[in-house]
Amino acid sequence: MKRLLLTAVLLCWAAILFGQKYLPSSHGELVEHTYITLSYSEANEQAEWVYYELTPKFVAGNIKRSDNFRPDPKVSTVSAQLADYAGSGYDRGHLCPAGSMTLNATAMSESFYLSNMSPQLPEFNRGGWKKLESLVREWAVEYDRLYVITGPVLKGTNRHIGLDKVTVPNFYYKVIYAPNQGMMIAFVMPNAKIDHELNEYVVDVDEVERVTGIDFFEAMDDQLENQLESNVTASRWDFDGTQARPKMVEKAKGETSGGQCQGITASGSRCKRKAKAGSKYCFQHENL
């Protein structure tokens, strides 16, 4: 009995430490990898959501982009294939971005499963979506820990690509929770060229739940969940990358007192960080 109780306690603590208590509701097959967890929708041949925890270590690693796109072996019904995207005119758009998985080779490799891809127009994937991904990484450094849930809005579209008929979404979303600051924010962006500032695509989490049918923080205390999901305040989040970072984080990333990073922030301005030794870029922009 004592052993069972101890096991239950350990499992509970594991769930807390690895953030699994923040998994959304699932309408598909739950697929758990080491660093990302997803709900795979066989009808749409892609994930309805991908969940991952993001800390400074994940974006400060030295693992280079692998480009090892391949089917996900853990999807029991078989995930989308490379041939589905070939000649389609759509990018294999990451849901959990490779730039957020530089911690180690396993994390980088998992980001290239086709279960983590969705058909995105090049001008979206390489434009506004990329800017949002970069901004979220900056927030991970500033706020120390984020829980990120991202995916396609699968309702309201009838476009498909490939023999497996991979659904082409009209919109994508990101839901982000910063537990240390008690802040939550969400974005809904069209699968198109993004012409406006990122903060113009901010919505409350309740709106994302309405358009997706997903309950994003169902295991959270109901009172806290309702408060966070319905009261999104964009002004509490740093969209300009100007908040000071703790000195201990600066040291941990190996930044030097050399020249200014030549990278561009999500808002389009010059990065204010110092470049790493032997590089023109800081840890954030070196892997982009």
Cα separation, 137 vs 261, in Å, equals 16
* Whether the Cβ atoms of residue 22 and residue 33 lie closer than 8 Å to each other: no
- Is residue 160 part of the annotated active site? The answer reads no
Q: What are 34's two structure tokens?
A: 């080491």
Catalytic residue from among 94, 160, 196, 285: 94
Map tokens 């939550």 to a residue: 184
H helices of the chain, where?
A: 2-17, 56-59, 82-85, 105-110, 122-123, 129-143, 205-212, 222-230, 247-252, 283-286
Q: How far apart are CA 274 and CA 262, in angstroms?
A: 9
Which amino acid appears at position 242 of this protein?
Answer: T
**Which residues are part of the catalytic machinery?**
94
